[in-house]
Structure 1
Amino acid sequence: MSRTIRLSVCAALLAGTALTSAQAADLPSTKKAPLAPILTQWSPWMIRGRALVVVPQEDARLKLGGAPIVGGDVNISNSVVPELDISYFFTQNIAVELVLGVTPHNVKGAGTLAGTRIGSAWLLPPTLMLQYHFTGLGAFKPYVGAGVNYTVFFNEKAKGGFTSFDLQNTFGLALQVGFDYMLNEHWGINFDVKKIFLEPKVKVNNGLISGKVKIDPWLIGTGITYRF
């Protein structure tokens, strides 16, 4: 084969290879594009409904006509009430919780005042808690909190022959520990314990008996969690 023929064959082979490559580049690709990651939507809102047991840890410093009542104390009844709270999460760990509910109590004398009926009252104690929620434990989600409480006393009624019974609205501090156990993305169960430090002023018979009553209740609750 002459040199001219060999050069012609090589040129034809190169031209054919280039044409095949160009045609392949024009064909649609069968390789699938990587799937975009599916992001779980995170909601900052949570609500809970609880059955709440309120257990006062009472103590009193009372005066009669300005003189201390030696050994005088009070006994405040326990109460079981429904409670609603609303939480907002700033991050996965930091949240605020507003606790709402009302609770009724009867007040009787104790110590040297034992057997004396004093009065009854309803408490509206909205409490705002700043919480830290622990993560990385799966469905088990414990938390701790600290906050402030403002208790409003209403529907106060004197009993046992007294003509008036008045408790002064007051601020208090609150501590909290609890956990949620999530059954699925939205629903869970909750157990929660709070301690409120509360010491309002009290007046009976328009100040004939006066002083301070340390209530300091434990609030023990369990209920349902819903995460939006």
Structure 2
Amino acid sequence: MSSLRKLSLATAIALIASPAAFAQDSGPLSTDTTSGKRVSVVGGVTLLQPESDPLPGSRIDVDGGPAPTLSATYHVNDNIGVELWGAADKFNHRVRGDDGKIGTIEQQPVALSGQYHFGQADNTFRPFVGLGYYQSNISNEDLNPGGDHVGLTTPKGAIGTVGLDLNITPTWFARADARYMRARADAQLAGETIERDIKLDPWTVGVGVGARF
């Protein structure tokens, strides 16, 4: 089963895990209240897919992969929040060319974003959007086996987020989100730049479970 199909299955499980939540309409929850809680945390799994053609004309492809992710959000009020999001482990990517596998790289992104959550805090379904800044630690590049080390500089740039929270109780919720990161990196051979502005531009799809306090 592919990573994307696994994530789709996880999303379906999260959405049907609480029949009580689906018994609600899109109005406020009937017990306790989510409003006024200022901190939320989410743990989940995310599939990250880099740009499929990072060097136009080079016929190089970079495979995506899954990794666990964590986020913490401070809610200024019921609609506005500031989120710190990142990978709890490294994403592993296989780099392929016309003749097959070239090598592998790993990356571990982290991002800080402002968010806007639509509707009332107690609504069963709450979509949100975000915009911020991210950078990714590139490590363990193995792109030139047997030769001089080929490395990538740290990609950094803007990140955009769209997502949907499903309130299960006033404390617990399920989340599905997608993110797009715009960034460029330089390739270096033995410390000397050999290629500039490699187009990475990864996107992500993730699911998770969160709690508010």
Answering whether residue 56 of structure 2 is matched by residue 77 of structure 1, we say no
Answering whether residue 152 of structure 2 is matched by residue 152 of structure 1, we say no
The aligned runs of 1:17-56 (5 Å cut-off) are: 42-56=36-50
Unaligned runs of 5+ in 1: 1-37, 63-70
Q: Which residue number corresponds to residue 57 of structure 1?
A: 51
Q: Which residue number corresponds to residue 221 of structure 1?
A: 206
Q: Please give the alpha-carbon distance, in whole angstroms, between the structure 2 residues aligned to 1:131 and 1:53.
A: 21
Return closer, same or farther for 1:76/1:192 CA change in 2, 3 Å cut-off. same
Q: Which residue number corresponds to residue 95 of structure 2?
A: 107
Of 172, 175, 186, which residue of structure 2 is paired with 1:190?
175
Q: Which residue number corresponds to residue 125 of structure 1?
A: 109
Q: Which residue number corresponds to residue 187 of structure 2?
A: 202
Question: TM-score scaled by structure 2?
Answer: 0.75
Q: Please give the alpha-carbon distance, in whole angstroms, between the structure 1 residues aligned to 2:172 and 2:203.
A: 26
Question: TM-score scaled by structure 1?
Answer: 0.71
The aligned runs of 1:134-173 (5 Å cut-off) are: 134-136=118-120, 138-173=123-158
Deviations, residues 93-125 of structure 1 (Å, cap 9, x unaligned): 11011111131212223xxxx226443222121
- Conserved in 2, the CA contact under 8 Å of 1:116 and 1:160? no
Unaligned runs of 5+ in 2: 1-31
Deviation of residue 54 (structure 1)?
Answer: 0.8
- Conserved in 2, the CA contact under 8 Å of 1:53 and 1:219? yes
| Superposed CA RMSD | 2.4
- Conserved in 2, the CA contact under 8 Å of 1:189 and 1:223? yes
Q: Which residue number corresponds to residue 86 of structure 1?
A: 72
Return closer, same or farther for 1:40/1:120 CA change in 2, 3 Å cut-off. closer
Q: Please give the alpha-carbon distance, in whole angstroms, between the structure 1 residues aligned to 2:193 and 2:96.
A: 17
- Conserved in 2, the CA contact under 8 Å of 1:162 and 1:204? no
Deviations, residues 14-44 of structure 1 (Å, cap 9, x unaligned): xxxxxxxxxxxxxxxxxxxxxxxx9987321
- Figure out how many residues of one structure are paired with residues of the other and give that number: 179
- Conserved in 1, the CA contact under 8 Å of 2:36 and 2:77? no
Q: Please give the alpha-carbon distance, in whole angstroms, between the structure 1 residues aligned to 2:185 and 2:111.
A: 16
